[in-house]
């Protein structure tokens, strides 16, 4: 008999940290950080000292005090003694922090498995942004691709790709002599890579699982309208075609499907897509794995160099990695002169460039999670953004679709996979699953379900 213990991901969106135990084999499925992690105790500069490891997190019960799991370094100032780990593996579904954020706490000898693209993205993020993407030291880090079979004692882990708002996302089919458990990770099936999710659903159905652990981010009582990535592309294209000035697009840099939608829309409307040097480095690093355009030479892309030190756009003004793309350079001068020729990727922290660009009749397409656009938590930041847009007379638009399956696609996946037991995670509305499926078991945070 197997059991699942939900240290995170139960009754919350994100924070997946699920222990699977089966006849003495112990494996974690994801090891993420909750989105609201620490917000009851930490604020602005009131933050735990990283040198103190897990001490502060244990104090407030923010990280479970589980023996034989964390590194010596992390336990130094805690009352939990260090013991050699008894965990056979940690399997990661994708790079988002709500699935990987606490990997740095683990004992470095615990074997960690992740997709090769997930590993690459984490490496690139760590290089570009200190702290972000830092998963700590792991002496036994393994990468896989879809279709691999990974034996962990008497269990076999089969990662199968799924479509999500970032590349390199996987679900798992876990086979044991008693049958199979299916773990979906985060997924959707309304984008250009929906066949990936279809492959996963078909493989999962074939295994006739006795248990399915399913994400339910968008399992809400009143489902919102379902937009597809193609509809986002069409909306973006319409806004660009109607515009008489510069068009700015704000979207997550790892959302490669969204990058492709903006890239296509820019080309279709006779414009070039402008990205900054960090984004150029990300695309350059993932180019071979994902078949992306070459940022050094692609004539539909331009790499934006900010004004720096000498104000001369000299090589030495920029970091070494940035100098790689100077042949495809664009500066504020050209953008200011011919704004109608460009669509520019941006985000909140890059609003300062508007001082140099001084756009007239520009559009700003917000194409990222609605959380920022509508959430109460981000009110102050949103007001600052809106003040900048108002000051420069820029019109705000919205074009987005979620990285998660809507209610009808969740229902489709569950009914097709048809597990004996369904466990909803990564959702605030687990009880909604009971309306569409018979044998639902709702997990509690820290609680165990025997399956
Ligand atoms: Zn997630
Ligand atoms: Zn995710």
| Mean pLDDT for the chain overall | 95
Whether residue 367 is found in the same domain as residue 418? no
Give the span between the Cα atoms of 144 and 118, in whole angstroms: 10
Q: How many domains does the structure of the chain reveal?
A: 2
Whether residue 265 is found in the same domain as residue 197? no
Give the span between the Cα atoms of 398 and 239, in whole angstroms: 10
Positions of the chain with pLDDT lower than 50, given as ranges: none
* Cα 217 to ligand 1 centroid, rounded to whole Å: 8
**Exposure string (b/e) for 168-190, b if CB count within 10 Å is 16 or more?**
bbbbbbbbbeebbbbbbbbbbbb
Whether residue 281 is found in the same domain as residue 156? no
* Cα 165 to ligand 2 centroid, rounded to whole Å: 7
* Cα 155 to ligand 1 centroid, rounded to whole Å: 25
- How many angstroms separate the most distant Cα atoms in the chain? 69
pLDDT at residue 310 in the model: 87
The CATH number linked to 255 is 3.40.50.10710
Whether residue 134 is found in the same domain as residue 154? yes
* Cα 36 to ligand 1 centroid, rounded to whole Å: 13
pLDDT at residue 369 in the model: 84
* Cα 94 to ligand 2 centroid, rounded to whole Å: 7
* Cα 153 to ligand 2 centroid, rounded to whole Å: 28
Whether residue 381 is found in the same domain as residue 444? no
Name the residue among 36, 371, 32 with its Cα closest to residue 185. 32
pLDDT at residue 52 in the model: 87
pLDDT tens digit sequence for 411-434: 999 999 999 999 999 999 999 999
pLDDT at residue 130 in the model: 79
pLDDT at residue 305 in the model: 97
Q: Which domain holds residue 332?
A: 229-398
* Cα 340 to ligand 1 centroid, rounded to whole Å: 37
pLDDT tens digit sequence for 52-91: 899 999 999 999 999 999 999 999 999 999 999 999 999 9
Whether residue 332 is found in the same domain as residue 421? no
Whether residue 71 is found in the same domain as residue 188? yes
Within 8 A by CB and 6+ apart from 41, the residues are 60, 62
* Cα 186 to ligand 2 centroid, rounded to whole Å: 5
pLDDT tens digit sequence for 85-136: 999 999 999 999 999 999 999 999 999 999 999 999 999 999 999 777 789 9
Whether residue 216 is found in the same domain as residue 338? no
Q: Which of 359, 382, 398 is the last residue of a domain?
A: 398
Ligand number nearest CA of 166 is 2
Whether residue 181 is found in the same domain as residue 274? no
Whether residue 93 is found in the same domain as residue 200? yes
* Structural tokens at position 407: 């209610």
Q: Which of 380, 398, 416 is the last residue of a domain?
A: 398
* Cα 138 to ligand 1 centroid, rounded to whole Å: 22
Within 8 A by CB and 6+ apart from 392, the residues are 354, 358, 359, 362
Whether residue 45 is found in the same domain as residue 72? yes
pLDDT at residue 1 in the model: 87
* Structural tokens at position 379: 């009110």
**Exposure string (b/e) for 194-213, b if CB count within 10 Å is 16 or more?**
bebbebbbebbbebebbbbb
Ligand number nearest CA of 215 is 1
Whether residue 119 is found in the same domain as residue 249? no
The CATH number linked to 20 is 3.60.15.10
Q: Which of 383, 398, 413 is the last residue of a domain?
A: 398
pLDDT at residue 139 in the model: 96
């Amino acid at each position: 008999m197997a059991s699942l213990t939900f240290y995170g991901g139960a009754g919350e969106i994100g924070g997946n940290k699920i222990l699977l135990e089966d006849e003495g084999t112990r494996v974690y499925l994801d090891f993420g950080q909750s989105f609201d992690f620490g917000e009851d105790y930490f604020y602005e500069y009131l933050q735990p000292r990283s040198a103190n490891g897990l001490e502060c997190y244990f104090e407030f019960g923010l990280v479970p005090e589980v023996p034989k799991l964390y590194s010596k370094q992390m336990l130094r100032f805690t009352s939990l003694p260090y013991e050699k780990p008894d965990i056979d593996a940690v399997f990661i579904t994708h790079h988002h922090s709500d699935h990987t954020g606490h990997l740095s706490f683990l004992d470095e000898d615990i074997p960690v498995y992740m997709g090769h693209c997930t590993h690459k993205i984490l490496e690139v993020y760590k290089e570009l942004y200190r702290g972000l993407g830092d998963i700590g030291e792991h002496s036994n880090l393994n990468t896989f691709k879809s279709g691999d079979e990974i034996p962990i004692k008497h269990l076999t882990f089969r990662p199968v790709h799924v479509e999500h708002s970032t590349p390199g996302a996987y679900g798992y089919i876990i086979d044991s002599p008693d049958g199979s458990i299916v773990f979906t990770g985060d997924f959707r099936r309304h984008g250009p890579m929906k066949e990936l999710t279809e492959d996963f659903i078909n493989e999962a159905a074939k295994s006739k699982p006795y248990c399915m652990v399913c994400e339910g981010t968008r399992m809400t009582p009143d489902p919102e309208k379902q937009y597809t990535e193609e509809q986002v592309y069409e909306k973006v294209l319409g806004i660009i075609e109607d515009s008489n000035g510069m068009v700015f697009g704000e979207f997550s840099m790892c959302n490669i499907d969204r990058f492709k939608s903006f890239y296509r829309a820019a080309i279709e409307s006779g414009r070039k897509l402008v990205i900054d040097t960090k984004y150029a480095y990300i695309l350059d690093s993932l180019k071979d794995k994902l078949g992306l355009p070459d940022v050094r030479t692609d004539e539909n892309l331009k790499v934006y160099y900010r004004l720096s030190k000498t104000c001369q756009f000299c090589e030495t003004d920029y970091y070494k990695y940035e100098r790689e793309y100077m042949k495809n350079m664009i500066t504020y001068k050209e953008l200011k002169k011919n704004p109608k020729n460009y669509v520019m990727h941006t985000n909140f922290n890059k609003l300062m460039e508007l001082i140099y660009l001084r756009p007239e009749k520009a559009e700003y397409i917000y194409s990222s999670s609605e959380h920022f656009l509508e959430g109460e938590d981000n009110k102050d930041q949103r007001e600052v953004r809106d003040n900048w847009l108002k000051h420069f007379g820029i019109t705000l638009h919205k074009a987005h679709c979620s990285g998660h399956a809507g209610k009808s696609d969740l229902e489709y996946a569950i009914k097709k996979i048809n597990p004996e037991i369904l466990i909803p995670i990564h959702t605030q509305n687990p009880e909604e699953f009971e309306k569409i499926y018979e044998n639902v078991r709702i997990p509690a945070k820290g609680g165990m379900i025997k399956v």
